[in-house]
Amino acid sequence: MRLGVLDVGSNTIHLLVMDAHPGARPLPAHSHKVELRLAELLDEHGAVGAAGVERLVSVIGDAVQAAEDKGCEDVLPFATSAVREAANADEVLARVRAETGVDLQVLSGEDEARLTFLAVRRWFGWSSGKLLCLDIGGGSLEIAYGMDEQPHAAVSLPLGAGRLTAGWLPGDPPDPADVKALRRHVRAQIARTVGEITRLGAPDHVVATSKTFKQLARIAGAARSAEGLYVQRELSRKSLEEWVPRLSAMTVGQRATLPGVSEGRAGQLLAGALVAEGAMDLFGVDELEICPWALREGVILRHLDHLPS
């Protein structure tokens, strides 16, 4: 069957169309993506403003049409931290439902962590043992740990690259004092979760997902996306420690010239690097592997698991 996953995230609205069947690997057939930066459209009261709601409804309507054009039998729509935390979330969801027919399911941060973990587990298999999974989104950082398909621990922290950039790094290039303050904030937040994870024992394999980690791995020398899904891509803490001061000294325009860094994400790269470096350091991770599957694939896999046989 052909399914669509509609991901209303803090940075982008992404429709991923996949050919999927129970017991088979989902195969991507089409991708429709619009950068909306919903987290940056919140007003001083934490609500999505009228212009933001209009744009959101329009983009979701276009995605629904794209799913229909591509022959999707069903669309699985969900929203993450930007909608979840908006002061007028109920109003936004009602407006989307009324004007597009889409009933957005708002995932909790823990749900995001669990579904991403499921995708990572299916990608690497049981032989990868105990997994520690890290995911940096636009609004939050998800951490999950376990040895089964459901993690033993799943944590979500408000440490997304977009959120932190907007709230802590106004300069271009940023003020060194702001970078230092953000580094301290990030590490204090992550440190609160370390005991919950490390008491479960050392992981056998550490994996990261998300655009932020992929871009950090790419600038550190990992293979280009054009070389395919099955090329192993890794990121070391040593590389991050070398890149963070370099990124701190760059303007957004300079970061956008780095290999694999899109113009739209260049502004968030430093904040994402500080989160990645902090997580790897505090969890004692010297090297991690990048997984091409993440939350959207997890949503598809869970849906397939619950289909009647």
Read off the pLDDT band of 304 (50, 70, 90): very high
Q: In the chain, what are the domains?
A: 2-106 (3.30.420.40), 109-295 (3.30.420.150)
Q: Looking at the predicted structure, is the pLDDT value of residue 309 above 80?
A: no
Q: What is the pLDDT of residue 11?
A: 87
Q: Are the C-beta atoms of 6 and 63 separated by less than 8 Å? A: yes
> Nearest Cα to 147, choosing from 112, 115, 121?
121
In whole angstroms, what is the distance from residue 99 CA to residue 96 CA?
A: 5
C-alpha of 85 from chain center: 16
Q: What is the pLDDT of residue 308?
A: 84
Read off the pLDDT band of 149 (50, 70, 90): very high
Q: What is the pLDDT of residue 194?
A: 97
Q: pLDDT, tens digit, for every residue of 157-168?
A: 999 999 999 999
Q: Are the C-beta atoms of 15 and 4 separated by less than 8 Å? A: yes
Q: What is the pLDDT of residue 43?
A: 83
Q: Of 21-35, 96-110, 114-128, which range is least confident?
A: 21-35
Partner residues linked to 79 by β-bridges: 8, 106
Q: Looking at the predicted structure, is the pLDDT value of residue 288 above 90?
A: yes
Q: Of 51-55, 139-143, 299-303, which range is least confident?
A: 51-55
Three-state SS at 218: helix
Mean pLDDT calculated for residue range 138-148 = 96
Q: What is the pLDDT of residue 44?
A: 83
Alpha helices in the chain (DSSP H): 50-69, 81-84, 89-100, 109-124, 161-168, 176-198, 211-219, 237-249, 252-255, 269-282, 295-305
Q: Are the C-beta atoms of 276 and 243 separated by less than 8 Å? A: no
In whole angstroms, what is the distance from residue 31 CA to residue 204 CA?
A: 33
Percent of the chain with pLDDT over 90: 89
Q: Looking at the predicted structure, is the pLDDT value of residue 114 above 90?
A: yes
In whole angstroms, what is the distance from residue 113 CA to residue 110 CA?
A: 5
Mean pLDDT calculated for residue range 180-199 = 97
Q: pLDDT, tens digit, for every residue of 198-242?
A: 999 999 999 999 999 999 999 999 999 999 999 999 999 999 999
To the nearest whole number, what is the mean pLDDT of the chain?
Answer: 95
Q: pLDDT, tens digit, for every residue of 231-276?
A: 999 999 999 999 999 999 999 999 999 999 999 899 999 999 999 9
Mean pLDDT calculated for residue range 271-291 = 98
Q: pLDDT, tens digit, for every residue of 2-43?
A: 999 999 998 899 999 999 999 889 999 999 999 988 877 788
DSSP letter at 47 equals P
Q: What is the pLDDT of residue 42?
A: 80
